[in-house]
Amino acid sequence: MIDRETIDRIYAAADIVEVISDYVTLKRKGVNYQACCPFHNEKTPSFVVSPSKGVYKCFGCGKGGNAVSFIMEHESVTYPEALKMVARKYGIEVHEREQTEEDVRRNNNRESMFALNSWAADYFVDYLHGSDEGRSVGMTYFRGQRGFSDATIKKFGLGFCPSKGDRMSQDAMHAGYKEEFLLSTGLSIKRESDGRIYDRFRERVIFPVHNISGRVVAFGGRTLRTDKSVAKYQNSPESEIYSKKNEIYGLYFAKKAIQQQDSAIMVEGYTDVISMHQSGVENVVASSGTSLTTEQIRLLGRFTRNVTVMYDGDSAGIHASLRGIDMILREGMNVYTVLLPPEDDPDSFARKHSATELREYIEANRENFITFKIKLLLRDAADDPVKRSQVITDIVHSMAQIPDNIQRSLFIREGARLLDMDEGLLIGEVARRRMASFGDREAEEFVRREGRRRREEAAAGVTQAAQVDDRFGSLSLGSSIETLEREIVYYLLLYGDCRFEFREGRRIVEMHVATEIIKALDACEIVFDNKNYQVIVDIWRQALRDGRTPDHHEFVNHYDHEVSMAAISVLAENESYVESKIWSQKEMHTTTSEEMLAVGIPRIIKLRTLKHLIGMIDEQQRQLDREGLTDDEMLALMQELTRLNRAKVTLARELQRSVV
């Protein structure tokens, strides 16, 4: 038991902000501090720490308490163990008698495993420094081959496991630790042939793996033998206290520097981390050669939203790691990449350069991940159109992971430039992927925000009248049929159920957008050249017959992928998608919307009709040029040609007059 006087000293010394800052980055807000809660996944901070009251409270999941109870909750430890952890942080001595075999038996499995790992870590360190084998083999590797200083070796708790097959296991049992915990932690392995146990890490240099609070949860052991039949690394297996997906190597040593610099550098292996720390760059962690997990990313995200991934100059694993980085993007973090010179990895590069040189190199050579990935994949694709198509698919997948709409929009713009493709098409593809991956609401929000961005850019310093002129001034007889059909679909999708007034001669005419468009198309029996646009028109035509308004989901979520993409592309490209919902609810009580529809609807219908008439006139002319026509046939064709030309002239004159 811990006496009351010691407990009082622990509580008096514990600064709740300091304690919790070891686990999450706190931002001051008034007299309190805020963060995203470490006990449940959230994007908006609801976790509040009050230094004056010495308490924390999450208004999202409801958890609350003091510094000690935070440790209990976060580390899943008992009250006495939490007290001891806080005491260690503040250098308060807690007198406890040495554990006996009976003490170990009384502890639960989890605490027994932690105790054994702590003993083993000390054992490996002592063997490295205190034995002939440790000094001649282990120290030669750490000091000679890796260039680690004694201070670095001590800081990371590096050690060595004896080459004798069961020495460590036997010494552990002699110290009172039970075989069952040697096996459950993975420190020992039982031989099936005779039931004897032997050391998992025998004859290997040891890298302890610490959790975020500094407790040893696992070990990595590297062989120094050149025998290729022996695995280069041995790692602790999953256990009650160690889950690979929840731990990041080096985070315990790096978290303060990561918080201070608001940035983390991610490398691959143990020695990469250690060499970078020794050089003076301490905001470094490692994936330890395994695929990143959501849990690891969220753990790192407690301390920073900025991650720089450092690659070996000739790394063959870059492509394999790209998907893992997509996961970082999905968590809303900013991802950068740095490619080292061909002859280096982070370990060797750090040993050649000072901290200042390292930071300058990173700053000068880092790129955002999307740009890096596009350049990398395009280089591999060369001029192969099939490979380039796959590159676009890959990039769309990455862009779709980005939750922040503004950031995603900027990457789409840059991506369209690098890929030399239409930005609107890329917007539509990303929107479709987000719909498939994250649901309609996410895709709709993206489309709306992209529309808002484009509208705000277009509106900057431009009058309403100028916006109207700008939109419709470019639409003329010279416009392609595809452009005109797209414009008609634009009105149907955004304003189909709206009403507007426009002047026709001396009359003021009130029109329903979809009704007017469908009526005009039917009157001339116009069928769109673009089959996807025609489907959208047909949906509206049938909806009018049924006396209803089609929901935009009928278009965006259409069972035909091409129709769906056509609708998304039109919605994503135009500037007024956000406001269209507002206008339809207010029945167009907005000057800009009335001007836009009053100009756009009559003009676009006349232009498309005129294009249709021109096509019919060309066809009539071809018929007249046929040989062998009878007089009656020729007369009929000429009469029809005259009628079409008159209609054409009438429409052309109307288009030259002001419609508003």
Number of other CB atoms surrounding residue 95 within 10 Å? 7
Q: Are residues 298 and 250 part of one domain?
A: yes
Token look-up 């605490």 returns 111
* DSSP letter for each residue of 103-155: HHHHS-HHHHHHHHHHHHHHHHHHHHHHSHHIIIIIIIIIIIIS---HHHHHH
Number of other CB atoms surrounding residue 107 within 10 Å? 16
Q: Are residues 271 and 147 part of one domain?
A: no
Q: Are residues 485 and 357 part of one domain?
A: no
Residue 77 belongs to domain spanning: 4-89
CA 327, CA 193: separation in Å to the nearest integer?
A: 44
Q: Which pLDDT value is given to residue 465?
A: 36
- Written as six digits, the tokens of 63 are 């958890």
Within a domain: 458: no
Q: Which pLDDT value is given to residue 457?
A: 52
Token look-up 């459950």 returns 184
Collapsing DSSP to helix, strand or coil, 187 comes out as: coil
Q: Are residues 215 and 253 part of one domain?
A: no
Q: Which pLDDT value is given to residue 514?
A: 86
pLDDT per position as a tens digit, 217-250: 999 999 998 888 889 999 999 998 898 888 999 9
Residue type (1 letter), 307: V
pLDDT per position as a tens digit, 270-294: 999 999 999 999 999 998 656 788 8
pTM beyond cutoff 0.75: no
Within a domain: 386: no
Sort strands 306-311 and 334-339 into parallel, antiparallel or unpaired.
parallel
Within a domain: 17: yes
Q: What is the DSSP letter of 333?
A: -
Q: Which of 89, 117, 147 is the last residue of a domain?
A: 89
Q: Which pLDDT value is given to residue 634?
A: 77
Q: Are residues 324 and 309 part of one domain?
A: yes
Whether residue 168 contacts residue 214, with contact meaning beta carbons closer than 8 Å, is answered with no
Whether residue 202 contacts residue 195, with contact meaning beta carbons closer than 8 Å, is answered with no
Within a domain: 372: no
Q: Which pLDDT value is given to residue 279?
A: 95
Q: Are residues 81 and 29 part of one domain?
A: yes
Q: Which pLDDT value is given to residue 135?
A: 95
> Domain count of the chain?
5
CA 484 to chain centre: 37
CA 425, CA 659: separation in Å to the nearest integer?
A: 32
Collapsing DSSP to helix, strand or coil, 509 comes out as: strand
Within a domain: 126: yes
Q: Which of 215, 242, 269 is the last residue of a domain?
A: 242
Closest CA to 265 of 370, 322, 350, 207: 350
* DSSP letter for each residue of 59-117: TTT--EE-HHHHHHHHHT--HHHHHHHHHHHTT-----PPP-HHHHHHS-HHHHHHHHH
Which residue positions in the chain have pLDDT lower than 50?
Answer: 440, 458, 460-474, 574-592, 657-660
Within a domain: 374: no
CATH classification of the domain holding 315: 3.40.1360.10
Q: Which run of H or E residues covers position 652?
A: helix 631-656
CA 593, CA 495: separation in Å to the nearest integer?
A: 9
Q: Are residues 119 and 187 part of one domain?
A: yes
Q: Which pLDDT value is given to residue 101?
A: 65
Q: Are residues 333 and 319 part of one domain?
A: yes
Edge-first strand listing for the sheet containing 233-235: 159-160, 204-210, 216-223, 233-235
Q: Which of 316, 348, 365 is the last residue of a domain?
A: 365
Q: Which pLDDT value is given to residue 583?
A: 33
Closest CA to 532 of 555, 550, 515, 501: 555
Within a domain: 26: yes
Sort strands 284-286 and 264-267 into parallel, antiparallel or unpaired.
parallel
- Written as six digits, the tokens of 420 are 């030399």
Sort strands 216-223 and 233-235 into parallel, antiparallel or unpaired.
antiparallel
Closest CA to 577 of 474, 451, 414: 451
CA 435, CA 446: separation in Å to the nearest integer?
A: 10
Which residues contact residue 325 at a Cβ distance below 8 angstroms, ignoring those fewer than 6 apart? Answer: 292, 309, 335, 337, 369, 398
Collapsing DSSP to helix, strand or coil, 309 comes out as: strand
Within a domain: 492: yes
CA 296, CA 245: separation in Å to the nearest integer?
A: 6
Q: Are residues 106 and 68 part of one domain?
A: no
Q: Are residues 405 and 543 part of one domain?
A: no
Cα separations (Å) of 263 from 214, 254, 274, 339, 367? 21, 10, 17, 17, 14
Q: Are residues 194 and 77 part of one domain?
A: no
CATH classification of the domain holding 17: 3.90.580.10
Q: Are residues 497 and 617 part of one domain?
A: yes
